[in-house]
């Protein structure tokens, strides 16, 4: 009886295992066939786009409206076809310039891909939204302001990043005005993107970076001060002065670095007075400032307030050597790096 | 008789456009997708102009230019490259390249430069 049960159990187990194997093999075959079919469709679509672009740009004998009408009815029916078309057109965007590029923009609009992208920028799926913003930035499409504002403060960093790049790529003037709409801290990566984007994509009149100095977010204020210094906007020096007494440490240190970059020496006495009560990060910027614009007397007045911070002591020793080039920095000198206790 | 142009480029999108445009302009265009294929074509066929990228699989554009200039000194060469570095462009001209076009490029401008180069080397286009 027990043996009968065992045989029945084994048979059932065998049937289940064989069914699972057949199912798995079937699934793999179906997936493979699906992938091959999709790849063939993709290749066909890429071919059709290539033919359309080249005929649209260089074939004067063909009627352009008819070309577009035919492509739209045969090759732009599904989301997949639209996705491949947009991806390929972006490739042409990257490789072309001049008259061909502006004709490509016309083609993009005539294929009504602009309205498709605009609808995707309003999508609730973050990945679609991020991708649509990227395309809108490259093709310079106009997206709704409220959508961009929401995206700038989106919880997904990918959407935030793409909306920020969109603003930079499409700006004709005031490329950093979008910062006013942000209510989250600017990350270091975002700051790097903006700085780089300004050099790469923006070609309008020199922006006024002081517009965000009144922002509530300290990282945006500090970044604006950094940009003012980077672009040598001396006209904003007066506006920067109050930031030397700001409560935020990052803002104070960035302001000192900005004044150093702008070579505004007048604040030296104020910095020396403030040194003793400052944090190590701000003290570091003050030491660099004194190294550039001070003398050995002003530097020596800071010596009692270095505390036991080794990095500050090293910077001090370095500054001392620079301001007193004839001084000896050997093991028995007053400011030897080997004898930090002497400082 | 149609002038023969060899286009050496590994980006299919760029190749397709150049091939389409130059064929439309009345040239006989041959395409090589890598340096090895290009070298065997240069060895077997006499071209009226070579249009090449610098960054190519297997054999670099620089090596191809050196070979072509040594063995076919009368074949003009135009470089189409993403490089905008001054030293790379200067090096290319030092090797005897006749023109240098940077990517992104204008296909219309490329067509004009090809026409001008072919005309200056072979008289007619």
Inter-chain touch B104–A58, beta carbons under 8 Å: no
Q: How confident is the model at residue A338 (pLDDT cuts 50, 70, 90)?
A: very low
Inter-chain touch B106–A94, beta carbons under 8 Å: no
Q: Across residues A290-307, what is the average pLDDT?
A: 87
Q: Across residues A70-77, what is the average pLDDT?
A: 94
The pLDDT assigned to A294 comes to 87
- A210 contact partners, CB below 8 Å, separation of at least 6: A224, A228, A233, A236, A239
Distance from CA of B60 to the nearest CA of A (A): 21
Pinpoint the alpha helices (H) of chain A.
Answer: 2-58, 64-75, 79-95, 99-110, 113-121, 126-139, 145-152, 157-170, 188-200, 218-230, 237-240, 249-261, 268-274, 280-293, 296-300, 310-323
Inter-chain touch B107–A50, beta carbons under 8 Å: no
Residues from chain A that touch B105, judged by Cβ atoms under 8 A, are 95-97
Q: Given a cut of 80, is residue B79 above it in pLDDT?
A: yes
Per residue in A248-295, pLDDT (tens digit) is: 999 999 999 999 999 999 999 999 999 999 999 999 999 999 999 988
Per residue in A195-216, pLDDT (tens digit) is: 999 999 998 999 999 999 999 9
Q: Across residues A228-243, what is the average pLDDT?
A: 96
* Facing B20 at nearest CB: one of A58, A88, A92: A58
Domains of chain B: 4-122 (3.40.50.2300)
Per residue in A126-151, pLDDT (tens digit) is: 999 999 999 999 999 988 999 999 99
The pLDDT assigned to B124 comes to 59
Residues from chain B that touch A50, judged by Cβ atoms under 8 A, are 13, 16
DSSP A295: -
The pLDDT assigned to A309 comes to 81
Q: How confident is the model at residue A331 (pLDDT cuts 50, 70, 90)?
A: very low
Minimal-distance CA residue of chain A relative to B16:
A50
The pLDDT assigned to A261 comes to 96
Give whole-number Cα distances, A3 to A8, A12, A277, B121, in Å: 9, 14, 89, 95
Inter-chain touch A98–B109, beta carbons under 8 Å: yes
Inter-chain touch B21–A58, beta carbons under 8 Å: yes
* Nearest Cα to Cα of residue B39 among B63, B11, B74: B63
Q: Given a cut of 50, is residue A57 above it in pLDDT?
A: yes
Per residue in A174-196, pLDDT (tens digit) is: 999 999 999 999 999 999 999 99
* Distance in angstroms between the alpha carbons of the first and the last residue of chain B: 10
Best probe of the B interface among A51, A97, A104, by most B CBs < 10 A, is A97
Inter-chain touch A95–B21, beta carbons under 8 Å: no
* Facing A94 at nearest CB: one of B16, B104, B107: B104
Q: Given a cut of 60, is residue B119 above it in pLDDT?
A: yes
Inter-chain touch B13–A96, beta carbons under 8 Å: no
Q: Given a cut of 80, is residue A325 above it in pLDDT?
A: no
Q: To 5 degrees, how large is the angle CA A205–CA A206–CA A209?
A: 135
Crossing angle of helices A79-95 and A2-58, rounded to 10°:
50
The pLDDT assigned to B29 comes to 97
Q: How confident is the model at residue A1 (pLDDT cuts 50, 70, 90)?
A: low
Residues from chain A that touch B14, judged by Cβ atoms under 8 A, are 95
How far, in Å, CA of A21 to CA of B57, rounded? 43
């Amino acid at each position: 009886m027990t043996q009968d049960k065992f045989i029945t159990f084994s048979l059932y187990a065998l049937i289940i295992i064989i069914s699972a194997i057949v199912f798995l093999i079937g699934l793999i075959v179906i997936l493979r066939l699906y992938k091959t079919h999709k790849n063939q469709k993709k290749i066909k679509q890429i071919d059709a786009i290539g033919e359309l672009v080249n005929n649209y740009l260089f074939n004067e004998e063909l009627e352009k409206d008819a070309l577009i009408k035919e492509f739209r009815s045969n090759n732009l029916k599904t989301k997949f076809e639209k996705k491949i078309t947009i991806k390929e057109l972006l490739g042409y965007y990257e490789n072309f310039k001049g008259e061909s590029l502006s004709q490509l923009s016309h083609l993009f609009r005539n294929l009504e891909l602009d309205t498709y992208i605009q609808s995707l920028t309003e999508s609730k799926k973050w990945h679609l939204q991020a991708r649509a913003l990227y395309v809108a930035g490259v093709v310079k499409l106009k997206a709704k302001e409220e959508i961009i504002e929401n995206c700038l403060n989106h919880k997904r960093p990918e959407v935030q990043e793409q909306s920020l790049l969109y603003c930079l790529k499409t700006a004709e003037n005031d490329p950093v005005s979008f910062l006013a709409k942000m209510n989250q801290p600017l990350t270091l990566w975002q700051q790097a993107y903006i700085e780089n984007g300004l050099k790469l994509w923006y070609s309008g009149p020199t922006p006024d970076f002081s517009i965000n100095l009144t922002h509530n977010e300290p990282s945006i204020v500090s970044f604006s001060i950094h940009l003012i210094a980077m672009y040598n906007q001396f006209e904003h020096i007066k506006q920067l002065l109050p930031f030397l007494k700001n409560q935020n440490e990052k803002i104070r240190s960035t302001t000192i670095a900005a004044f150093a970059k702008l070579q505004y020496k007048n604040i030296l006495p104020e910095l020396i007075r403030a040194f003793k009560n400052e944090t190590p990060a701000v003290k570091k910027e003050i030491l660099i400032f004194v190294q550039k614009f001070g003398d050995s007397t002003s530097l020596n007045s800071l010596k009692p307030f270095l505390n036991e911070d080794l990095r500050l002591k090293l910077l001090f020793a370095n500054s001392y050597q620079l301001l007193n080039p004839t001084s000896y920095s050997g093991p028995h000198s007053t400011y030897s790096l080997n004898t930090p206790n002497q400082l | 008789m149609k002038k023969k142009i060899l286009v050496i480029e590994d980006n299919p999108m760029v190749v397709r456009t150049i091939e389409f445009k130059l064929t439309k302009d009345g040239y006989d265009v041959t395409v090589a997708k890598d340096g090895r294929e290009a070298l065997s074509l240069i060895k077997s066929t006499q071209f009226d102009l070579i249009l090449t990228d610098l960054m190519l699989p297997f054999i670099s554009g620089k090596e191809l230019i050196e070979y072509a200039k040594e063995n076919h000194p009368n074949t003009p060469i135009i470089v189409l490259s993403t490089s905008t570095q001054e030293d790379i462009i200067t090096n290319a001209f030092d090797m005897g390249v006749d023109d240098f076009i940077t990517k992104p490029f204008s296909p219309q401008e490329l067509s004009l430069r090809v026409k001008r180069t072919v005309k200056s080397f072979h008289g007619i286009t």
